[in-house]
Amino acid sequence: MVGNAWPLVSIVFLAYNRREQLAYSLTQVLEHLDYPSECLEVIVVDNASVDGTAEMLAQRFPGVRVIRSLENVGMSAWNEGMAAAAGEWRLALDDDCYLDGDGLKTAVRSAEEHGADLVSFRVASSEMPGFFFNDQYDTGLLAYWGCSALFSRRAIEAEPFYDPNIFIWGNEMELTMRLLNRGFRHLHLPEVTSVHMKGPSVGFDPRGFRLNHRHFAYIAAKLMQPGDAVAALGNVALHVVGGAVVGDRRKLGALGEIVRGARSGLGVRAPVRPAVSRVYRRHAWHFASPIAQLRIPRERRSARAAPNHVAASSHWRNTRWFARRRRYYPTSSAVLEL
């Protein structure tokens, strides 16, 4: 921000068969966002929706630029919208997610003050007051919740946006890794909250679990240095096996996906700097060794008799793991540069 002049921000929505949620999100940013309207550009990438999204946009939001994809290509459909955007800053939003109030002003101002090129937010549930998705899955500074994030123009132009080989889930970590490798800064800004129109995940999702682990393996094989990649792939597999032993045996179905993901990643190898690779291998949850999370023998013996005690012990171990890595999993606003 120069003086009192706010920079142009392009808000790029990705839409797929959520017509009414998109209409609500657009209304929030167009009518309730405290940012000069003349400094906003709004783009919707319609990812081959078949629920009347395009017709709704033409009727209710004629001033919004629409880019229509002929097929659903997943998260990489954002690429076209980001490339077409003109803003110095580009805000990626899911069709069921929005910022309102002074959130965008705070994000832009803070990004420029800290020299950051990626800004991530706290993400609240619209269905469960007081619930934040970051508490359910802490991405820290090594990734971000992809439903809402702010990027600088220079970051978008320096590095391809989402990898088209990752249809959905895992895109955020892969992109963050490449941006940090370029020397860009990631600012986590929990004082800015985006609203995600969904509730917390409940229960085990076999398909999501398999896809996530395929993509973790793909990222390790594509971007990590050789030694780190081998260790990370082994740890991803150990997480799966350990989760199956103490939880749901269906998790073992992800082992084949790990092999497939690793093969795909090896086919497009583009290793990051050793320092970046090492940080992810040691401190990204799924790439790090799961040994510290294993139950001690006494806990395994008492699991049936005192499940609450075992759950409390597991929570304590997880809390300790993240606490030892506060540089990468901060509890307040923080910047990471590698």
Confidence at residue 315, expressed as pLDDT on a 0 to 100 scale: 75
Domain membership flag for residue 222: yes
State which of 175, 196, 217 marks the end of a domain.
196
The answer on 311 and 239 residing in a single domain is: yes
The answer on 284 and 169 residing in a single domain is: no
The answer on 99 and 44 residing in a single domain is: yes
Q: What does the pLDDT look like over 243-266, one tens digit per residue?
A: 888 778 999 999 999 999 999 999
Domain count for the chain: 2
* Nearest alpha-carbon partner for 247 in 288, 287, 295, 289: 295
The answer on 231 and 297 residing in a single domain is: yes
Instruction: Give the pLDDT band (50/70/90) at residue 327.
Output: very high
State which of 196, 223, 243 marks the end of a domain.
196
Question: 284: domain range?
Answer: 206-336
The answer on 143 and 64 residing in a single domain is: yes
Domain membership flag for residue 280: yes
Is residue 202 over pLDDT 60?
Answer: yes
**Residue 161 belongs to a domain with what CATH number?**
3.90.550.10
The position carrying tokens 């580009």 is 90
Is residue 335 over pLDDT 90?
Answer: yes
Domain membership flag for residue 286: yes
SS3 314: helix
Percentage of the chain lying above the pLDDT 70 cut: 92
The answer on 159 and 104 residing in a single domain is: yes
The answer on 20 and 97 residing in a single domain is: yes
Domain membership flag for residue 4: no
What secondary structure does DSSP assign to 235-304, as a single string?
Answer: HHHHHHHHHHHHT-GGGGGHHHHHHHHHHHHHTT-----HHHHHHHHHHSTTTS-SGGGSPPHHHHHHTT
The answer on 156 and 230 residing in a single domain is: no
The answer on 294 and 145 residing in a single domain is: no
Domain membership flag for residue 2: no
Domain membership flag for residue 78: yes
Q: What does the pLDDT look like over 175-186, one tens digit per residue?
A: 999 999 999 999
Bridge-based pairing of strands 89-94 and 148-152 is antiparallel
The answer on 212 and 181 residing in a single domain is: no
3-state secondary structure 169-216: CCHHHHHHHHHHHCCCCEEEEEEEEEEECCCCCCCCCHHHHHHHHHHH
SS3 98: strand
Domain membership flag for residue 3: no
State which of 153, 176, 196 marks the end of a domain.
196
Is residue 303 over pLDDT 70?
Answer: no
Is residue 1 over pLDDT 90?
Answer: no
Domain membership flag for residue 1: no
What are the two backbone dihedrals, phi and then psi, of residue 49, each rounded to the nearest 5 degrees?
A: -65, 150
Distance in angstroms (rounded) separating the CA atoms of residues 16 and 183: 33
Residue with the larger pLDDT of the pair 311 and 132: 132
Q: How far from chain centre, in Å, is Cα 169? A: 8
**pTM of the predicted structure, to 2 decimals:** 0.94
The answer on 306 and 264 residing in a single domain is: yes
The answer on 263 and 294 residing in a single domain is: yes
- Token representation of residue 301: 């013996």
